[in-house]
Amino acid sequence: MFISYIDQLDSTAERNRSLMEQYFFKCDCVWCRDKALVWKIYIQLILKKTQQIYFFLQLIVIVIIIIIVFIILVFIIMTIHI
Q: Is 27 part of any domain?
A: yes
> Taken in order 11, 17, 22, 26, is the CA torsion positive or negative?
positive
Q: pLDDT-based confidence at 2, cuts 50/70/90?
A: low
Give the pLDDT score at 62. Answer: 96
Within 13 Å of residue 44, how many CA atoms lie on the same side as its CB? 6
Q: Which domain holds residue 34?
A: 12-81
Give the pLDDT score at 29. Answer: 77
pLDDT in tens, 9-48: 788 888 889 889 998 888 887 767 777 777 888 889 899 9
Q: Is 4 part of any domain?
A: no
Q: Is 25 part of any domain?
A: yes
Q: Is 2 part of any domain?
A: no
Q: Is 29 part of any domain?
A: yes
Q: Closest Cα to residue 33, out of 14, 12, 2, 19?
A: 12
Q: Is 20 part of any domain?
A: yes
The mean predicted confidence, pLDDT, of the chain is 86
Q: Is 28 part of any domain?
A: yes
Give the pLDDT score at 70. Answer: 97
* 48 or 3, higher pLDDT: 48
Q: Considering its fold, how many domains does the chain have in total?
A: 1
